[in-house]
Amino acid sequence: AQTVTQSQPEMSVQEAETVTLSCTYDTSESDYYLFWYKQPPSRQMILVIRQEAYKQQNATENRFSVNFQKAAKSFSLKISDSQLGDAAMYFCAYSGVASRLTFGEGTQLTVNP
Amino acid sequence: EPEVTQTPSHQVTQMGQEVILRCVPISNHLYFYWYRQILGQKVEFLVSFYNNEISEKSEIFDDQFSVERPDGSNFTLKIRSTKLEDSAMYFCASRETSGRTETQYFGPGTRLLVL
């Protein structure tokens, strides 16, 4: 079974600074997808970014980018120029042959003004 | 922009009662999912649904749970006899095509409290 691990329960960053959230996963599949979802206090799940495992190029979405290391099974999220609105719980998630999403434990990000 | 909607946003029920949580997926989506999140814990997969039948379910999804697509728009999760441990946020999600490249879009969730 696939597992997703987020080893940082909490992180904080100063507004306008850069922060990196870590995620590792375990799988025997060769073709899969990885996602970062954001969950603000409203508890809505919002897609931040996604990465296809077969792509070597790291995905980017505006201020959000990933560092995907397939051999190391690592998938970190970098948030540049952090804004107050980035404060939320961030979940790393995996989707393989079965389309279900497997989530990590989450990282609570605080942005300090 | 199309979005997944869920009703009710909050539900309080007594242990042993039946509850039905409702979802309206994005209109051209074909795959539907239910997840739950117990307070302070990670999001857990419950069930996926395609072509009017369950395509996959987790060990959490026991005989107390059922899903249905009663018409062309709604997707429901029924809990027959609620337990205290069913208290959680329940999320519906939908996906457009059979390709796994398509992202699952989540609804805002229903917060269920079982007393």
Query: Domain tally for chain B?
Result: 1
In terms of residue numbers, what domain contains B43? 5-74+84-96
* Bridging pattern class, strands B10-13 and B110-114: parallel
Contact check, Cβ <8 Å, B103/A44: no
Q: Quick check: B104 contacting A, CB < 8 Å? A: yes
The yes-or-no verdict on residue A60 having pLDDT over 60 is: yes
Amino acid B76: pLDDT: 96
> B105 in a domain, yes or no?
no
Amino acid B88: pLDDT: 97
The yes-or-no verdict on residue A73 having pLDDT over 90 is: yes
- Which residue, among A33, A95, A100, A108, would best test binding to B if mutated, counting the most B CBs under 10 Å from its CB? A100
Amino acid B102: pLDDT: 66
Task: Decide which of A42 and B61 is more confident.
Answer: B61
Mean per-residue pLDDT over chain A, rounded: 94
Rounded CA separation B41/A2 (Å): 18
Nearest residue in B to A96, CA atom: B100
Instruction: Confirm or reject CATH 3.40.50.970 for domain A3-112, answering yes or no.
Output: no
Amino acid A66: pLDDT: 97
How would residue A30 be classed by pLDDT, with cut points 50, 70 and 90? confident
Q: Quick check: B32 contacting A, CB < 8 Å? A: no
